[in-house]
Amino acid sequence: MLAESHLYNSLERNAFSTTGEATCIYGDPAYPLRIHLQAPFRNRVLTPQMLAYNSSMSDVRTAVEWLFGDVINYFKCFDFKKNLKIGLSQVGKMYIVCSIMQNALTCLYGNGTSQFFDLDPPSLEDYFA
């Protein structure tokens, strides 16, 4: 899926900070390690720093997965096994629309993730600005 999505090509072209430094996204251990794509350390022997990195990044990944869960819970059409057919449905477009709507709901009512991190979501006006 990574190859078919052309995500990494897009990252190579666009994933740089305003100072020109490479930025990256973090994935699970199945992803290859690249400049713009990072994953947990998977060496047989991990140093304390590697263990701490894996642990802290796992916590962040868990919080991101909560947001995926919010989309699935609010928009039951995303019960993939029952309703969506990759190649026959516009899954990507549908997910983007549902994510925008979920973000709008978060702006209005908050969510577990914003409560966990003790952060107020932006106003609806700021989100759509």
pLDDT tens-digit map of 48-69: 999 999 998 887 777 778 888 8
pLDDT confidence of residue 79:
65
The three-state secondary structure class of 38 is: strand
Rounded to whole angstroms, how far apart are CA atoms 69 and 93? Answer: 18
Could you give the angle at which helices 48-74 and 91-109 cross, rounded to 10 degrees?
A: 90
pTM of the predicted protein model: 0.61
Please state the rounded mean pLDDT for residues 80-84: 63
Locate 18 and state its tokens: 């305003």
Among the listed ranges 61-75, 81-95, 114-128, which one has the minimum average pLDDT value? Answer: 81-95
Predicted confidence (pLDDT) per residue in 95-111, tens digit: 888 899 999 999 999 98
DSSP letter for each residue of 17-34: -TTS-B--EE--TTSPPB
